[in-house]
Amino acid sequence: MKYRLIKSVEQYNSYCRALESLLESKTKTRNDRDEIELLTLLIEKWDADHSHFNEADPIEVLHLLMNEQSLKAKDLAAILGVSKGLVSDILNYKKGLSKDVIRVLSTHFKVSQEAFNRPYKLTNASNQYIRNTSRIKNRKELELTS
C-alpha cells in the first residue's frame, strides 16, 4: 500500500509535498485524481486531529492567520474595509467581531465562519453587555427608573 494513515510530522510533510506535486501537474489521469482525493482525506484527518483552532479563541485564530500571511493590522483594516482603530480594538479584545467582519475574515482566510464565531471575553467591561442586547434598557425604561 502506497499511503497509510499519517502518524508523524515528517510523513505529513511528505504527503503535503506529494499532493502539491500532483495538483501542479498539467494533465491528470484517473489514478492521479484518486491519489489526490486519498491524500486530501489523509491530510485533512491529520489536520482535524492536530488542529489547535478548536482550542483557540477567535482572536488567537486571527493572530495566527495574520502571522501566517505576514499581515499587519493596517492590511487587515484594508481587507475588512474598516478603520485601523477598529481593527486595533478587535485585536486587543476591546470590541467583538460583527457578522460582517466574520464573513469577510472567513472568506479571506478560507476557513469556516465557526473559527471566528465562538464566544470569548472582551477586556473592556463596558462593552461586554453589547453581546446580550436584551440587557440594554431603552430610553423609556431609563426615564421610568429615574
Q: Which tens digits make up the pLDDT trace of 54-72?
A: 667 899 999 989 998 999 9
Q: Span 93-106, mean pLDDT?
A: 93
Give how far the C-alpha of residue 49 lies from the chain's centroid of Cα atoms, to the nearest Å.
17
Question: Lowest-confidence range among 24-33, 90-99, 123-132?
Answer: 123-132
Hey, where are the domains in the chain?
9-50, 58-131
pTM of the entire predicted model? 0.54
For residue 129, the model assigns a pLDDT of 52
The identity of residue 116, as a single letter, is F
Rg for the chain (alpha carbons), in Å? 22
Distances (CA, A) of 61 to 71, 73, 117, 138: 13, 14, 11, 35
Q: Span 6-16, mean pLDDT?
A: 90
Class of domain 58-131: mainly alpha
Task: Output 7 or 133, whichever has higher pLDDT.
Answer: 7
